[in-house]
């Protein structure tokens, strides 16, 4: 047997089972070894019928005291029942829809059952236990792996196949060097494969998990390290005179200490010989835009252009307005470039970028398109970075390679501009280490003075009329209100409870608030319509803004004091926190009302977190716990490979070790070109394989 031995060669695997196994991605013996259990059952201890605890499944050896009886309950549902006993008591065992068991189980024989004992009055029973003959038990007395399954494949069957594969396969090659494993106390590969499937003890399992978690995070760190290495090798613009002091006086407010720290840290990067790669992380409303403006100003002082990319048109337009206001006093020319602009407008902006007449351009993905050329691009800023893939970040930075005016310097191959990344999502530390492992981080942990926390409440339908009264009261005080609902159209799967935004807006306009001015903005509108609706709200021309989550990030209307979120259970906590950040941006007290009829205790507990804290980092940690890193941003746009074993909530220490191990290795062999590192290099590149651009 070798890793490529097809599963059809295994006893008990015919065509039907081979097909079912293929659904699980299992085709060969090697696949089996790499198919890790999802959890484990501790079947080491045996109990008696009378002595078994009721709160968890246990193993009990019993004698079948009567022939199994098959009963039809109704069409499609039957039950096979039998009496069993040991020296302490008798009990009734039922199997649903497993009529074939009548042939498999025989009176007078001993079996080991694994299941949960239930107490009914004064007798005990068990439903659908696993069982094996007591004479030749295979999975009793040990820790049993539990695998993800599919129809036609039982856990016992799959565990049997895995056990056979592990016994038959030659020992796996050890990709990690011996001295390396010793230094980081890592179990061997072959040993770990055995133990992850069939651990002999908790410690045994732990050691295997540690090893695999380390390995995963190590490869990941190496991959990110290679990326960073590639980038830092490039030369970049160096501005030895960079100094933000002259900019502070131009601002209409004084920066918070945290903003100032971020600006000073960025200034130090700009003066240093290697290109800046800095993440500015700050909760919604912490004032990241002013930090970006300061950097663009420093770039301009040094004679270079800047570009800022935002994830949506709305945000690009807003940044454009804000930055224009902040930078015009400094005589900087700010332009806007978005996909929806007319061709003539675009041409004008493109020409001004090429000639250097524009000092800062704000835009969407449109900035990445062909034909966008700069005279001298020295700083790229991305807002809400995690919404862009890592590749886009790279593509954007590559714009600085575009040869500009031939009379000016022609950037060398590998030239990198300074990069500033802004994120309003407080990314949990562990995830940030991975996502932004290649960036320096400034944290803005302070809000501008006078901000008050947004009071947050969770309500059900029964309070809807009172809520409408509250909305009206806010408007009467001169404030404005956001009403957020999830979908533009009725969900095709018949999710009738989703408030479709059009219908919702109609009801509010015509029935609930006929006397108020109600705006509407959603993703299906034309960009111009969206812009008009947002602008009207920002200018105070509408009282209420009904919207989908297009207002999620960054939109800034200080007069808005209340946000109502319908079907709040549909969103992730971080997303709700972002939405909530749309209010409480001015001097007025602010509220967030979450509406949900979902009664599930989990959902309520989740939403309660928001009513209890406004600490974005805590909220993000909760989200990560509940949803896992792959889902953290609602999709996989961040482009990280999925982790099989490592858990970013609990494996922080392993992550740190893996990162320092990767750093040490790359310090010795920056592109893993030494022959002894070739297998590692291959693995790392394969890990990022779905994304070949990654290493270009």
- What does 37 interact with, of Mg ion, ligand ADP, none (CB < 5 to 8 A by kind)? none
Min separation Cβ 424 and Mg ion, Å:
6
Q: In 99-137, which positions are buried (b, 16+ CB within 10 angstroms) versus exposed (e)? A: eeeeeebeeeeebbbbbbbeeeeeebbbeebbbbeeeeb
Q: In this chain, which of 186, 255, 421, 471 binds ligand ADP, going by CB under 6 A?
A: 255
- What does 456 interact with, of ligand ADP, Mg ion, none (CB < 5 to 8 A by kind)? none
DSSP per-residue codes, 448-467: PTT--PPEEEEE-GGGHHHH
Strand, helix or coil at 179? helix
- Is residue 474 within 8 A of residue 562, CB to CB? The reply is yes
Q: Which is nearer to ligand ADP, 204 or 556 (CB)?
A: 556
The contact mask relative to ligand ADP for 408-427 (x = CB under 6 A, - = no) is ----------------x---
- Is residue 560 within 8 A of residue 323, CB to CB? The reply is no
Min separation Cβ 583 and Mg ion, Å:
15
Report d(CA 299, CA 242) in Å as an integer: 8
Report d(CA 229, CA 219) in Å as an integer: 15
Q: In this chain, which of 28, 140, 221, 259 binds ligand ADP, going by CB under 6 A?
A: 259
Report d(CA 119, CA 387) in Å as an integer: 53
Residue 153 token pair: 């494949």
- What does 255 interact with, of Mg ion, ligand ADP, none (CB < 5 to 8 A by kind)? ligand ADP
Q: Is 281 one of the binding residues for ligand ADP (CB under 6 A)?
A: no
Q: Is 556 one of the binding residues for ligand ADP (CB under 6 A)?
A: yes
Q: Is 448 one of the binding residues for ligand ADP (CB under 6 A)?
A: yes
Q: Which is nearer to ligand ADP, 336 or 424 (CB)?
A: 424
Q: How far is CA 179 from CA 89, 185, 186, 188, in A?
A: 57, 10, 10, 12
Q: In this chain, which of 290, 367, 484, 563 binds ligand ADP, going by CB under 6 A?
A: 290
Contact stretch for ligand ADP (CB under 6 A) within 72-80, 114-122, 145-153, 279-287: 279-287
- What does 628 interact with, of Mg ion, ligand ADP, none (CB < 5 to 8 A by kind)? none
DSSP bridge pairs for 127: 94
Size of the site for Mg ion (CB under 5 A): 1
Report d(CA 511, CA 468) in Å as an integer: 11
Residue 385 token pair: 């970075």
Give the sheet arrangement for strand 334-337, strand by strand.
Answer: 334-337, 360-363, 305-309, 377-383, 418-423, 277-282, 440-444
Contact stretch for ligand ADP (CB under 6 A) within 125-133, 221-229, 554-562, 667-675: 554-562
Q: In this chain, which of 37, 145, 188, 554 binds ligand ADP, going by CB under 6 A?
A: 554
Q: In this chain, which of 80, 192, 289, 567 binds ligand ADP, going by CB under 6 A?
A: 289
Residue of 456, 480, 485 whose CA lies nearest to 540: 480
Residue 643 token pair: 């982790």
616 membership: H or E segment, kind and range? helix 616-631
Q: Which is nearer to ligand ADP, 417 or 554 (CB)?
A: 554
The contact mask relative to Mg ion for 547-576 (x = CB under 5 A, - = no) is -------x----------------------
Min separation Cβ 449 and ligand ADP, Å:
6
Positions in the binding site for ligand ADP (CB under 6 A): 253, 255-256, 259, 282, 284-290, 424, 448, 554, 556, 558, 585
Contacts with Mg ion by CB under 5 A lie at 554
């Amino acid at each position: 047997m070798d890793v490529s031995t097809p599963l059809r060669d295994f006893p008990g695997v015919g065509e039907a089972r081979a097909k079912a196994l293929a659904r699980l991605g299992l085709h060969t013996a090697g696949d089996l070894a790499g198919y890790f259990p999802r959890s484990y059952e501790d079947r080491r201890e045996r109990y008696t019928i009378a002595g078994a605890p009721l709160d968890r499944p246990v193993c009990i050896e019993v004698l079948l005291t009567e022939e199994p009886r098959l009963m039809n309950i109704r069409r499609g549902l039957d039950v096979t029942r039998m009496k069993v006993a040991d020296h302490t008591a008798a009990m009734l065992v039922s199997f649903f829809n497993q009529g074939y068991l009548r042939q498999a189980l025989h009176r007078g024989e001993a079996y080991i059952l694994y299941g949960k004992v239930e107490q009914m009055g004064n007798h005990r029973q068990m439903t659908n236990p696993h069982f094996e003959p007591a004479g030749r038990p295979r999975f009793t007395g040990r820790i049993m792996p539990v695998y993800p399954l599919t129809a036609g494949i039982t856990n016992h069957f799959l565990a049997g196949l895995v056990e056979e594969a592990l016994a038959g396969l030659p020992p796996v090659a050890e990709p990690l060097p011996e001295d390396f494993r010793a230094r980081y106390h890592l179990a061997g590969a072959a040993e770990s494969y055995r133990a992850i499937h069939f651990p002999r003890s908790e410690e045994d399992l732990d050691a295997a998990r540690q090893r695999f978690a380390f390995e995963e995070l190590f490869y990941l760190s190496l991959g990110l390290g290679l990326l960073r290495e590639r980038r830092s090798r490039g030369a970049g613009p160096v501005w030895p005179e960079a100094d933000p002091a002259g900019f502070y006086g131009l601002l209409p407010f004084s920066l918070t200490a945290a903003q100032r720290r971020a600006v000073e840290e960025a200034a130090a990067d700009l003066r240093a010989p290697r290109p800046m790669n800095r993440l500015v992380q700050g909760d919604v409303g912490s004032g990241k835009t002013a930090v970006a403006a300061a950097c663009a100003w420093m770039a301009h002082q040094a004679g270079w252009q800047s570009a800022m990319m935002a994830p949506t048109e709305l945000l690009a337009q807003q940044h454009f307005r804000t930055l224009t206001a902040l930078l015009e006093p400094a005589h900087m020319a700010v332009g806007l470039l978005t996909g929806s602009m007319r061709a003539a407008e675009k041409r004008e902006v493109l020409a001004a970028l090429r000639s250097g007449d524009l000092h800062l351009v704000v835009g969407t993905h449109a900035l990445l398109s062909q034909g966008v050329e700069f005279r001298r691009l020295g700083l790229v800023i991305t807002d809400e970075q995690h919404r862009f893939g890592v590749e886009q970040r790279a593509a954007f930075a590559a714009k600085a390679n575009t040869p500009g005016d031939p009379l000016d310097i022609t950037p060398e191959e590998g030239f990198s501009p300074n990069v500033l990344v802004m994120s309003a999502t407080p990314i949990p530390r562990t995830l940030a280490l991975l996502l932004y492992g290649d960036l320096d981080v400034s944290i803005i942990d302070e809000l501008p003075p006078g901000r008050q926390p947004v009071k947050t409440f969770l309500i059900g339908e029964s309070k809807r009329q009172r809520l409408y009264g509250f909305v009206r009261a806010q408007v009467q005080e001169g404030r404005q209100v956001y009403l957020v609902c999830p979908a533009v159209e009725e969900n095709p799967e018949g999710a009738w409870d989703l408030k479709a935004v059009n219908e919702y807006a109609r009801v509010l306009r015509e029935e609930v608030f006929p006397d108020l001015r109600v705006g509407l903005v959603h993703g299906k509108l034309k960009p111009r319509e969206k812009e008009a609706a947002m602008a009207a709200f920002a200018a105070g021309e509408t009282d209420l803004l009904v919207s989908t989550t297009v207002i999620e990030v960054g939109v800034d209307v200080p007069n808005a004091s209340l946000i109502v979120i319908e079907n709040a259970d549909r969103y992730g906590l971080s997303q709700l926190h972002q939405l909530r950040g749309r209010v409480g941006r001015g001097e007025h007290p602010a509220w967030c009302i979450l509406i949900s009829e979902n009664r599930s205790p989990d959902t309520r507990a989740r939403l309660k977190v928001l009513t209890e804290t406004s600490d974005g980092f805590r909220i993000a940690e909760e989200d990560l716990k509940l949803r896992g890193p792959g889902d953290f941003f609602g999709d996989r746009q961040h482009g990280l490979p999925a982790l099989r074993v490592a858990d970013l909530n609990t494996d922080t220490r392993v992550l740190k070790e893996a990162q320092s191990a990767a750093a040490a290795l790359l310090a010795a062999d920056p592109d893993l070109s030494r022959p002894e590192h070739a297998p590692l290099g291959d693995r790392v590149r394969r890990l990022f394989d779905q994304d070949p651009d990654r290493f270009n």
